[in-house]
A and B are shown apart, each in its own frame.
Chain A
């Protein structure tokens, strides 16, 4: 009787620990092979044949298709430069320059990876449609209410993610630091 109880307990713990850890790593991701520059993170290896098992599991779970390495690289950010979660009710400024790339796109998603509905039907910017300053730097205002210049609407949702995709770019598996890839800064400038 005691032996059965103990075996059963061990098996229950094993299932809970094992599946719990898998669920955690598949939803939140791991730090395996990540490239972090400022608030932005990318996983350059997900676009290659030697993608790690954890990234494969999270890709299979979410149902997305990773950007192939010969195509480009995707950086995502869910927090600003001061580690504050991106809040759709606040004004957030994305400014600066981007790494060398033929094109880039910046897109706003909710936490499940859906686009956020808005009356302008604007879900992001491409490098070509952005308004830049004389020095080539740009400033995008991510806010729920209309703003002058490059306004990216948030629809007032609480948490969102920004994704910066670089296409036809030297940034990739060999990139390590900000110097190789100058990423734009993300700053929360005001909350109502």
Chain B
């Protein structure tokens, strides 16, 4: 009897370890996470507009139907990424996610403070390799450090009324997400936005 009780206690304790390990491992082993869902329908290092969310077919759950959404799936192993997003009439935002959907950075049109959101995305290693002797031009361009070499950039433009959706989509269609092959020149680290 004592032995059975001991077995159950040992099982529960071991179960706690199994629980912790599986919670930590779940983001890595999940096959239906957002990145895996978006991989077949998006191009690498280019902007792909997502179809509008509708009841029968949505790329991801809990998408906001009031937004036009475009995805840039990136891989920084070949160099840094230059992202330009023209600001739409109502509200535009750019969010960055790692391969495992950690939202490490997001910025909206107001905190970017100009008509076009311009960003350079690179790994920390690429950032530290940037030449430091370049003359520091004030807050000209933002440099974002990606914690992982692959991930997602989500571009969103709000259509405050359903009739404004084509305009929101058009403003996203004018955005670009390109691999920079040569070292970017004349850059300065701008003040970071909200994290």
Chain A positions within 8 Å of B, measured between CB atoms, are 6, 9-19, 21-22, 25-26, 46-49, 51, 53-54, 56-57, 59-72, 74, 102-103, 105, 107, 109, 112-117, 121, 123-124, 126-129, 163, 165, 167-168
A18 touches B16 (CB 8 A): yes
Per the CB 8 Å criterion, the residue count for chain B at the interface is 67
Contact of B15 among A14, A57, A74 (CB under 8 A): A14
Inter-chain contact A18/B106, CB cutoff 8 Å: no
| Bound-state Cα–Cα, A47 to B104, Å | 7
Q: Are B195 and A49 in contact (CB under 8 A)?
A: yes
Q: Is there an interface contact between B55 and A129, defined as CB atoms closer than 8 Å? A: no
- Docked pose: A92 CA to B71 CA in angstroms: 35
Beta-carbon contact of A113 and B64 below 8 Å: no
Chain B window 129-159, contacts with chain A (Cβ cutoff 8 Å), 1 for yes, 0 for no: 0000000000000000001000010101011
Interface pair A70/B22, CB less than 8 Å apart: no
| B138 CB → nearest A CB, Å | 21
Cβ contacts B96-111/A at 8 Å (1 or 0 each): 1100111111111011
Docked-complex contact A21 and B19, CB < 8 angstroms:
yes
Task: Please name the residue on chain A nearest to B18 by beta carbon.
Answer: A18
Chain B residues closer than 8 Å to A22, beta-carbon distance = 18-19, 22-23, 26
How does the 8 Å CB contact mask read for B68-97 relative to A, with 1 for contact and 0 for none?
A: 000000000000000000000011010111
Q: Give CA–CA (A147, B47) in the complex, Å.
A: 41
Most central of B15, B55, B97, B158 by chain A CB within 10 Å: B15
- B27:A64 contact, CB within 8 angstroms: no
Q: Which of A13, A21, A60, A168 contacts B101 (CB 8 A)?
A: A60
Interface, chain B (partner A; CB < 8 A) = 3-4, 7-8, 10-19, 21-24, 26-27, 30, 32-34, 36-37, 53-56, 58, 60-66, 90-91, 93, 95-97, 100-108, 110-111, 147, 152, 154, 156, 158-162, 193-195
Complex contact A167–B22 (CB within 8 A): no
Q: How far is the CA of A165 from the CA of B158 in the complex (A)?
A: 12
CB distance from A102 to the nearest CB of B (A): 6
The answer to whether A18 and B14 have CB atoms under 8 Å apart is yes
User: Which 8 pairs show the lowest CB-CB distances between chains A and B?
Assistant: A18-B18, A68-B106, A113-B61, A13-B11, A17-B15, A14-B14, A70-B106, A128-B160
Given contacts A18-B16, A68-B96, A71-B107, 14 further A-B contacts (CB under 8 A): A9-B8, A18-B18, A21-B15, A57-B24, A59-B101, A63-B33, A65-B34, A68-B93, A68-B97, A69-B194, A71-B108, A103-B90, A105-B64, A113-B60
Q: Which of A9, A13, A51 contacts B102 (CB 8 A)?
A: A51
Question: Chain A interface mostly helix, strand, loop or mixed?
Answer: mixed
- Complex partner residue of A126 from B3, B33, B161, CB under 8 angstroms: B161
Question: Whole-angstrom distance between the alpha carbons of A9 and B90 in the complex?
Answer: 61
Q: Do A68 and B30 contact each other (CB < 8 Å), given the known contacts A49-B104, A109-B62, A115-B58?
A: no
Contact A64/B34 with A26-B26, A49-B147 known, Cβ cut-off 8 Å: yes
Residues of A within 8 A of B10 (CB): 10, 14
A74 to B33, CA, bound (A): 19
Alpha-carbon distance between A163 and B63 when the two chains are bound, in angstroms: 10
B191 to chain A, nearest CB (A): 13
Residues of B within 8 A of A63 (CB): 30, 32-34, 36-37, 60-61
A6 adjacent to B7 (CB under 8 Å):
yes
Question: Which of B4, B65, B147, B195 interacts with A115 by CB under 8 Å?
Answer: B65
